[in-house]
Structure 1
Amino acid sequence: MAYTIRPFLSGDAAALAALTLDAIRNIGARAYSPEQVEVWASGHTSAQRFTQRAKAGHHIYVMADDADMPVAYALLEPDGHLDMLYRSPTHAGRGLASQLLAHAEEQAHRLGVTRLYTEASELARTPFERAGYAVTERRDFELRGTRIHNYAMEKVLREKPLI
């Protein structure tokens, strides 16, 4: 199967919301308890937030399959915060997260961003580390009464050589 990375289209919002919940509930369950998964998922139910984020100037990069259906995405804020990186569980093991991280980095260079940072889940930590992000701290916190954790991570972007 061939995949392409393209910008977010308003018609993608519902598919991205469903993909996010599917990823949290099916992939997140590998590292988090059922209670943690549900409290995490409860914050990701709105499809309209994708359209709102795009209108606010956030960059959403969609990985689409042969039928142009979203199977993964990354959301980059103008200040270099990579807020979301999710992929459909049915498209696991195909390097989609790595491709999206590389694309987001290229776009960050284009936008003049010099530092990327994120809060990665236990399972997202590995693809971020492979992409050159370093853990700055483990964050243990409470989300709607449930203890959970993630990792603050960052990557300083080097200037691209002029060739």
Structure 2
Amino acid sequence: MMSIRPYAEQDLADIVAVFTDSVHQIASRSYTPEQLAAWAPLSPDLEQWRARLSGVETLVAESRGVLAGFISFTSNGHIEFLFTAPTFARRGVASLLYEAAVQRLASGGVKTLTTDASLEALPFFESRGFSVTEAQTVERNGVQFRRFAMTGPS
């Protein structure tokens, strides 16, 4: 049984662990070890994460008390984060989180969503009607990455 609820401060360490594990295990199909280490350092800065999450709304998916994934988004419809714990990958967690975020944003009048999708996330967003508006090369900690600015329906 999966439940979706708002992020709480006590979720911080679990969210950072899900992000780090997801990047290093799932995104390893598309990115080099150097890119993974720059994107998701194995010793994350929790204060930096606390600051990042303070500017967005975050929903978490939980199964039997275990954090299965999370989505973070701005009030104007930009999806900042959508990550699933590797043990819950391909089990509908991202879809549940996405639908919950869409409902919240639509109730606030948001009609268009945007995101910056990784190579791994690109097919997920395309399957929900998003299209690439720009292929980008960005830099994190001195390492370059490919990602895609995307726009989609809410």
Long gaps (5+) in structure 2: none
User: Per-residue displacement from partner, 1:13-40 (whole Å, max 9, x unpaired)?
Assistant: 0100111101111111111011111111
Which whole-Å CA distance do the structure 1 matches of 2:80 and 2:50 have between them? 15
Which amino acid counterpart does residue 37 of structure 1 have in structure 2? L
What percent of counterpart residues are identical? 30
Q: Which residue of 2 aligns with 1:161?
A: none
Q: Give 1:160's aligned residue.
A: none
User: Which AA in structure 2 matches 1:96?
Assistant: V
Aligned length: 154
**Structure 1 consecutive aligned stretches of length 4 or more whose deviation exceeds 6 Å:** none
Q: Does structure 2 conserve the Cα–Cα contact (< 8 Å) formed by 1:16 and 1:47?
A: no
Alignment-derived partner of residue 86 in structure 1: 83
1:62 aligned partner, one-letter code: V
Matching of residue 142 in structure 1 with residue 139 in structure 2: yes
Give the gaps of 5 or more residues in structure 1.
158-163
CA 1:55–1:38 in structure 2 vs 1: closer, same or farther (change >3 Å)?
closer
1:62 equivalent to 2:70? Answer no
- Aligned mate of 2:95, from 84, 98, 103: 98
* 1:112 aligned counterpart, secondary structure: coil
CA–CA distance in structure 2, aligned partners of residues 46 and 79 of structure 1: 27
In structure 1, distance between residues paired with 2:43 and 2:59: 18
Give the counterpart letter for 1:66 in structure 2. Answer: R
Number of the residue aligned with 1:72: 69
Q: How far apart in 1 are the matches of 2:42 and 2:147?
A: 15
Aligned Cα root-mean-square deviation (Å): 1.9
User: Deviations 1:94-152 (Å, cap 9, x if unpaired)?
Assistant: 01111211111111111222221010110011111112211112112333322211111
Contact 1:102 1:131 in 2 (8 A): no
Q: Which has the higher strand share?
A: 2
CA distance in 2, matches of 1:54, 1:28: 21
> Computing the radius of gyration over CA atoms, which structure comes out larger, 1 or 2?
1
